[in-house]
Chains A and B, each alone.
Chain A
Amino acid sequence: MTLGIDVRNLTVRFGDVVAVDDVSFTLSGGKIYGLLGRNGSGKTTLLSLLAAFAPVRQGKVLVGGAEPFENSAVTEKVCLIRERSIAPDGTTVKDILNDARVFRPAWDEKYADRLLDMFQLPRKKTVSRLSRGQQSALGITVGLASRASVTIFDESYLGLDAPTRYDFYDELLRDYMEQPRTIIMSSHLIEEVGRLFEEVLILDRGRLVSHEETDTLLTAGAAVTGPAHLVDEVTQGLTVLSQQQLGGTKSTAVYGKISEDAQARARSAGLEIGSLGLQDLFVHLTREREEPT
């Protein structure tokens, strides 16, 4: 079962700080979504509201058409895994899994066991004594084995080492293909995890600055490489993100659509036009801009 998500005019303030600023979007569900944003951009606050960790005070959040806060018909189908465990001291891995088994209606015990073995997690150890990587692995185990209709990983896999993170990405994809559901992942490791995303949302200082299908977003920019004067000619009028020059050869990353005609002419002139990485686009879209004085 997959659930869609509707967020309408959502605003969250902490005192004078606006953490989420009039954000609206719709996720149709049944996809893997990437939520990107710099530190303090409002990602965790937004995800907390989707999972009913906090009440919505301004705007509206609907999951499967219903408000999630204090609505267990929704919350039992939404699983938010954060970077840090919130289990009280003395809680063991086994306790966490036992609670998940009782409270999560779609809990898959065999799958949880398999993930525990895969991550080599000790069942009897207290959570507070697990390494950061093991705590991440425990969160991932709970997140995947809960088989929740909406599964959210809020930077919860950052503690894993690189090989284990790749194992997780493979496992996530495999399980998602078998059990389609709505998955939202927030991350700083954009290049690494970007290949998983079908749609990307980018938050910047609490505002939603982009919500596109990944393929569409990737066409929003280009890297043009070739003789410097030709590169300058083709990229004229576009937003230049970065430039590198070696002798007469130049490589320029631009944000903006290069027309089909211009692309054809550039290629015939010997220029290479490639797509930009998600990370380059993210950096551009969230770059600090000087406030007008």
Chain B
Amino acid sequence: MTALVDTPGRTWRRGLLCGRQLTVMMAYVGGLWFLPIVVVVFVGIGALQVATGGWGDLSWSSVWEHSLQPMRYFPLAMAIIVGAGMLPNYVSHGMTRREFSIGVGIMIAVVSVAFAVVGAIGLGVEDVIYGWFGESPEYTVPHLYADPGDVPLVLAQYALLTSAHMATGWLIGATYYRFGGYLGTAMLLVTLLPAIAVEFVLSVSYFGQVAQDGFGWDRPPLAVVIPACLAITAATCYGTYRFVRRLAIKP
């Protein structure tokens, strides 16, 4: 018999440590670099729109609603780096793939909620600023919410999209690490599917506009949409864990 036996408690404790490290890294890159840039850019566009009295039919349209684009594609890119680069790094520090996967799951959850909070605050601030001019933001693409006051739905929309894209990014990163650049790129046809599926089911923003206006897609009730999106994201994370759990670290 040996004392060197892994236990669920140890796995979760070290998984939490891993999640903390990954989240701190995301907070550093996202919080200190990405989000300030997003805020500055969108405030600038908003200021320009106010200064010029709006652009034609789009006068007083919401600027911040478009923040949904960078706020899901940046986490997607970061998750690709995590999937391809951080796994070998952490395994070399003695982490198991299972602990790493728990850590990634924690990072996805925390970052998604954090980005959702930032998204909700942005919509609220925009609503207040527009209010100073006696206007309300007009939303030009579909959303789960009708106005910024629907805070739970605002949070749900941002969090579901960000988490789905991060889970997809992790999967993409893992396949790039395992199969290399050419095959990894070819596999994007498959590995991007979780994000596309959530976009389709959620049917918001540009994607939702195309789905609804172009293909006549009717979004199912939220009681179906939200669990379905969560299920797709969770299945993607679990599938990626199954994929990496016996992955060899390259020389």
Contacts and interface: CB of A to CB of B under 8 A. Distances in A.
B10 A72 contact: yes
A259 interface: no
B4 A71 contact: yes
A99 B21 contact: yes
Interface in A69-96: 70-80, 82, 86-89, 91, 95
B98 interface: yes
A75 B96 contact: yes
A66 interface: yes
B29 to A, nearest CB: 9
Contacts of B96: 52, 70-72, 75
Interface of chain B, main secondary structure: helix
B4 A73 contact: yes
Interface string A43-86: 01000100111110000000111100011111111111010001
Interface stretch (A100-108, A195-203, A283-291): A100-108
Interface in B13-32: 14, 17-18, 20-21, 25
Nearest to A91: B89
Nearest to A74: B4
Nearest to A76: B94
B72 interface: no
A51 B93 CA distance: 10
Nearest to B85: A88
A265 B18 CA distance: 67
B222 to A, nearest CB: 38
B251 A82 contact: yes
Contacts of B84: 88
B90 interface: yes
Q: Which of A53, A72, A74, A103 has the largest count of B CB atoms less than 10 A from its CB?
A: A72
B90 A99 contact: yes
Given A72-B11, A86-B88, A66 B4 contact: yes
A103 B97 CA distance: 14
Q: Which of B84, B86, B91, B92 has the largest count of A CB atoms less than 10 A from its CB?
A: B92
B251 to A, nearest CB: 5
Contacts of A70: 6, 96-98, 245
Contacts of A51: 92
A161 B186 CA distance: 43
Contacts of B99: 72
A103 B17 contact: yes
Contacts of A54: 248-249
A89 B2 contact: no
B60 to A, nearest CB: 40
A189 B7 CA distance: 41
A55 B4 contact: no
B180 to A, nearest CB: 15
Given A66-B2, A88-B81, A104 B249 contact: no
B90 A48 contact: no
A159 B93 CA distance: 21
Contacts of B17: 102-103
Contacts of B85: 87-89
Given A66-B4, A74-B4, A103 B94 contact: yes
Nearest to A45: B251
A149 to B, nearest CB: 10
Interface string A104-116: 1000000000000
Interface string B68-105: 00000000000001001110111111111111000000
A146 B246 CA distance: 25
B94 A53 contact: no
A99 B6 contact: no
B21 A102 contact: yes
Contacts of B92: 51, 53, 80, 82, 86
Interface string B227-251: 0000000000000000001101111
Contacts of B21: 98-99, 102
A148 B4 CA distance: 14
B138 to A, nearest CB: 40
A95 B93 CA distance: 12
Contact of A88 (B2, B18, B89, B93): B89
B51 interface: no
A248 to B, nearest CB: 51
A54 B20 CA distance: 25
B246 A55 contact: yes
A80 B18 CA distance: 19
Interface string A211-247: 0000000000000000000000000000000000000
B246 A75 contact: no
Given A72-B94, A86-B88, 4 more contacts: A65-B2, A73-B5, A74-B4, A103-B18
15 contacts: A55-B246, A65-B1, A65-B4, A70-B96, A71-B4, A72-B94, A75-B91, A76-B94, A79-B94, A88-B81, A89-B85, A99-B90, A102-B17, A103-B18, A148-B94
The 5 closest A-B pairs by CB, nearest first: A88-B85, A54-B248, A65-B2, A66-B4, A53-B249
